[in-house]
Amino acid sequence: MKFRKMETIKSNDKRIASRVSEERMSRGKRQKRAVIVTGTPGTGKTTLARELAERSGYGYVDVNDVIRKNKLIERHDKGRNTDVVDEHRLSRMLMGMIERSSGRLIIDSHMSHFLPREHVSLCIVTRCSLPELKKRLAKRGYSEAKIRENLDAEIFEVCLTEAREAGHEVCVVDTGKRIDYGRILGKI
Q: Write the pLDDT tens digit of every residue in 126-150.
A: 999 999 999 999 999 999 999 999 9
Q: Nearest 5°: CA angle at 153, between 152 and 156?
A: 80
Separation CA 56–CA 30 (nearest Å): 19
Residues 45-73 have a mean pLDDT of 97
Separation CA 184–CA 188 (nearest Å): 7
Write out the DSSP string of 44-86: SHHHHHHHHHHHHT-EEEEHHHHHHHTT-EEEEETTTTEEEE-
- The confidence band for 13, taking pLDDT boundaries of 50, 70 and 90, is low
Domains of the chain, residue spans: 2-187
pLDDT for the residue 26: 39
| Domain 2-187 annotated CATH 3.40.50.300 | yes
Separation CA 105–CA 97 (nearest Å): 9
Q: Nearest 5°: CA angle at 140, between 138 and 144?
A: 40
Q: Name 143's Cβ contacts closer than 8 Å, sequence gap at least 6.
A: 81
Res 8 pLDDT > 50: no
pLDDT for the residue 32: 79
Residues 159-166 have a mean pLDDT of 97
Between 27 and 94, the higher pLDDT residue: 94
